[in-house]
Structure 1
Amino acid sequence: MSYLPISKRIAGYLSFQTGLSAEKEEIITYVIEVTLINLFNIINILFLGLLFDVLPAVITCLITVALLRHTAGGAHSNSPWRCALITAIVFLSISIAASYLAHIKQIYIDIMAIVAIAIGTFLTVRLAPVDSPSAPITSANRRKRLKCLSIIVIGFISVVIVLLRQSLWLHTQEVQVAIILSVLWTSFNLTHFGHLVMSHIDRLRNPKTKEVN
């Protein structure tokens, strides 16, 4: 894997100061690379949200997806940069959709919320946590703990949606819909079909990559 020059320089400096082996320096370089890409991605997503005037929805997507992905996991691209691009496109699309759907009647938003939470809860109980080949979950206790945390997060999100329903904030419905769509997106990524879609996206860039079932 090729790295950004700044990632190599930082990792090289840390390795020199601590006397790390070349193998550990490679690991640190990867960690720094992913951290920088994620930081850039967050800044980029926030900028796009500001540019398209959907910042509250974008922030909502970031928080909701981060909470669910951290505990439930899901499909990942094999490239951090490609993953960042997909995330930016999806979050912006969700936010724009939320800004439009925010104008529908509250009863329809309530129905969407019930459906999203039902789907999210079912798939979380059934599938979470979903790990990746690069970072498999080998501990049964950790797997059980993450599943419990995932269910708690879904419950917390449900409470937030209900509380928002009572709010008079200007962006309340936009944020509600953003949460709903974010739950559906992360739930989709828990499924086998979500993994297949991500695999096909990866193969668009790397046609020789074999699909993993």
Structure 2
Amino acid sequence: MEKCIGKILGVYKNQLELDEGQEAILRYSLHLIMSMFLGYFLALVLAKALGIFSYVLIIMLTISILRSCSGGAHCESMWNCAIFSMIVANALGFLTKMVVPTKEIILSAIVFVFLFGLWSISKYAPADTPQKPITSIEKIKKLKVKSLVILLVWCFFNVGYYLLFNKVHGIMLASSLGILCQCFSITKIGYKLWQQSDILLNKILRK
């Protein structure tokens, strides 16, 4: 992975004049992209084996879309991110499969997640990292607004589906859990959980 990232950076260096700051941002961005693809691959392979592929796919897509604007906690290494994503996405997917999707449960979940999302995004988004800090006030406002728009669109589609067809679906719960997970990841407790999980995975992988 590191060799691949190094080769990609080499191509950019040959074509563009990058300073140290730009190179660091590009390297970090490449790490995120590759860890995302690796996370998707591992999570979906396991989800296929567990029979929860569609739920896990929706959960991961929901998380990825909101994370693109809201930011959030990350593990330090690419493999840790991929493994942690695999575990979390499949745990949420398995939970979705186990829950009977009644109107009361689904609508309550949507309302709770929407309110929690409004609070966490308004307070913490965009949540940056030391490797890629966001210093522009204008950019912070834009990313916060985009995050809120994504949350509103998600809520609109779910509520609209229920009002239009007068029924609910397990996919609605899966997307709710995806939004909830992502909104939690931008909070202070979320950052601490990711950090502790990173430490635990490092110990396990060393052994």
Which protein has greater RCO, CA pairs closer than 8 Å, 6+ apart?
2
Report if the CA contact (8 A) 2:28-2:132 is conserved: no
Amino acid at match of 1:178: A
- What runs of 5+ residues in structure 1 fail to find an aligned partner? 208-213
Give me the whole-angstrom Cα distance separating, in 2, the residues matched to 1:62 and 1:123.
19
Deviation at 1:122, TM superposition (A): 1.3
Give me the whole-angstrom Cα distance separating, in 1, the residues matched to 2:110 and 2:155.
8
Q: What SS does structure 2 have at the residue aligned with 1:42?
A: helix
Deviation at 1:104, TM superposition (A): 3.9
Deviation at 1:88, TM superposition (A): 0.8
Report if the CA contact (8 A) 1:58-1:95 is conserved: yes
Give me the whole-angstrom Cα distance separating, in 2, the residues matched to 1:16 and 1:155.
40
Report if the CA contact (8 A) 2:72-2:126 is conserved: yes
Deviation at 1:30, TM superposition (A): 5.9
Amino acid at match of 2:61: I
Give me the whole-angstrom Cα distance separating, in 2, the residues matched to 1:122 and 1:152.
14
User: What's the counterpart of residue 142 of structure 1?
Assistant: 139
1:71-82 superposed matches below 5 A: 71-82=69-80
TM-score (normalizing by structure 1): 0.80
Report if the CA contact (8 A) 1:15-1:25 is conserved: no
Amino acid at match of 1:133: P
What is the percent sequence identity of the aligned residues? 23
Q: Which of residues 122, 125, 129 is equivalent to 1:125? A: 122
- How many residues of Structure 1 are paired with residues of Structure 2 in the alignment? 201
Per-residue displacement from partner, 1:66-100 (whole Å, max 9, x unpaired)? Answer: 11111111111111211111111111111111111
User: What's the counterpart of residue 210 of structure 1?
Assistant: none
Q: Rg bigger for which structure?
A: 1
TM-score (normalizing by structure 2): 0.82
Per-residue displacement from partner, 1:170-197 (whole Å, max 9, x unpaired)? Answer: xx62111111111111111111111111
Q: Which of residues 155, 158, 161 is equivalent to 2:155? A: 158
Give me the whole-angstrom Cα distance separating, in 2, the residues matched to 1:58 and 1:48.
9
User: Structure 2 vs 1, CA of residues 47 and 148 (structure 1 numbering), >3 Å: closer, same or farther?
Assistant: same
Q: What SS does structure 2 have at the residue aligned with 1:82?
A: helix
User: Structure 2 vs 1, CA of residues 10 and 187 (structure 1 numbering), >3 Å: closer, same or farther?
Assistant: closer
User: Structure 2 vs 1, CA of residues 5 and 111 (structure 1 numbering), >3 Å: closer, same or farther?
Assistant: same
Give me the whole-angstrom Cα distance separating, in 1, the residues matched to 2:134 and 2:25.
19
User: Structure 2 vs 1, CA of residues 25 and 136 (structure 1 numbering), >3 Å: closer, same or farther?
Assistant: closer
Richer in helix (by share): 2
Deviation at 1:53, TM superposition (A): 1.5
Amino acid at match of 1:42: Y
Mapped pair 1:194 → 2:186: no
User: Structure 2 vs 1, CA of residues 17 and 59 (structure 1 numbering), >3 Å: closer, same or farther?
Assistant: same
Deviation at 1:58, TM superposition (A): 1.4
Report if the CA contact (8 A) 1:99-1:174 is conserved: yes
User: What's the counterpart of residue 211 of structure 1?
Assistant: none
Amino acid at match of 2:59: C
User: Structure 2 vs 1, CA of residues 64 and 29 (structure 1 numbering), >3 Å: closer, same or farther?
Assistant: closer
Q: Which of residues 31, 48, 52 is equivalent to 1:50? A: 48
Give me the whole-angstrom Cα distance separating, in 2, the residues matched to 1:168 and 1:196.
40
